[in-house]
Amino acid sequence: MKARGSCHPCQQSGEIASRLRRNWLKVEMELSTSCTSFVAVAIHLFQMRLMKDEEYVISSIGVPDSVDTTDGRWIMMPFMNSGSFSALFRACRDSDACMCQTKEHPSPCWETIREHDLLWVLALFYQAVEGVSAIHAKGYAAWILLDNIMLQCKGTSCFASIIDLDQMCGPGEGDCEGGTVGFAAPEVHEGHQGLPANDVWSMGTVLYILLYGEWPPYMEFFWNPDSARKQAAYKPEEDATIPKKRRSIDNLVVEMLNTNYETRISLEEVKKGVKDFITAEQPDQEVLDMLYKTPTARGLTDDLPTCISDYTPSSFDPKHCRNTPTRAEGWFTCGICVLCDPCCECWTLYNGRIKTEYFFAKSCE
């Protein structure tokens, strides 16, 4: 992931974050220079470093965990191989078999597009809530969207993690209002942002979508003057999509989407409610492991490099070049390596065909 910019990143992320109170949107408003993208990414990095060693929050990795180039600032992050909650939802919406809701069966048939059912999806949601809790423990609110929750899988075993901490916001940071319409809680539009209750609403919106396979009636995809009023007027107990004969998980949605943030359910109560619902349904061992074991304990996380300079060197021998090697264009053409020799390229012949080879060397000439 990278951010482009045309100026020299002369300020360090810690200095910028300290001065601007680690706030993405505040940076956008207070700085009108061509350095904005670098500054924004610096804030992003500072926030990500707060979340090191968290199981359910994806942080930047490596020492250093970013590289400044003339093409922008590059952030090193683990790769999540199975898409986002947004992709999971779209896959269900595009499947008639998955969209099987009835009055007696109000939730999608997730097992028709994955090898697991609703309880598995709810266990992924529970892990995402764990990630948000970790962010709250650092004194921030996260403002979660479907695209902020990513999946990593090995075979049919998966876990969910929060990614993209651009809009982490602490209480009292009065210039950080914003967020995606619908996912941002009603009180955010009134200046009450950076609160844990904001994320309870956001996660309530996520749970609504996963549980019913529909967008909530207050969801807007483009801001208009009526968006905030429509959201503030929402009454979950009158929502026709939520079953009249409620399960405990339906009651949880109603409590999470309480438009009064002062009486909204807490995130700890959400975690307990989701876990209690899943365990009462007697799930299989895979789902139970998702609730009680970390991704590392389940063998789903890969060892990460201790520094960006860790790389697998090319086995190509430059003596096989058929022309004089030259400096390769582009960043990381030879791989992710910051402190290595220059990246060179030349062409050679394999089975009578020309092939370009890339390799590190003291000199490309």
- How far apart, in whole angstroms, are the C-alpha atoms of residue 130 and residue 72? 33
- How far apart, in whole angstroms, are the C-alpha atoms of residue 305 and residue 311? 9
Give pLDDT, residue 138.
Answer: 83
User: pLDDT tens, 264-283?
Assistant: 999 999 999 999 999 999 99
Q: State the number of CA atoms in the 13 A half-sphere of 147 facing the CB.
A: 5
- How far apart, in whole angstroms, are the C-alpha atoms of residue 141 and residue 194? 5
Residue 56 CB-density burial (10 A; 0-12 exposed, 13-18 middle, 19+ buried):
buried
User: pLDDT tens, 115-147?
Assistant: 889 999 999 999 999 999 998 988 888 778 888
Sequence-distant (6+) residues with CB within 8 A of 69 are: 331
Burial 154-164, CB ≥16 within 10 A → b, else e: eeeebbbbbbb
Q: Is the pLDDT of residue 39 over 50?
A: no
Contact at 8 Å (CB) between 126 and 275?
yes
Q: How confident is the model at residue 176 (pLDDT cuts 50, 70, 90)?
A: low
Q: Which domains does the chain have, with CATH numbers?
A: 2-75 (no CATH), 85-292 (1.10.510.10), 318-360 (no CATH)
Give the Cβ contact number of residue 86 at 10 Å.
Answer: 16
Question: Residue with structure tokens 């060892």?
Answer: 303
Q: Is the pLDDT of residue 187 over 50?
A: yes
Least confident of 37-41, 137-141, 234-238, 349-353: 37-41
Give pLDDT, residue 81.
Answer: 82
Share of the chain above pLDDT 70, in %: 68
Q: How confident is the model at residue 26 (pLDDT cuts 50, 70, 90)?
A: very low
The mean per-residue pLDDT over the stretch 275-294 comes to 96
Q: Which residue has the higher pLDDT, 48 or 344?
A: 344
User: pLDDT tens, 204-229?
Assistant: 999 999 999 999 998 876 656 677 77
Contact at 8 Å (CB) between 107 and 212?
yes
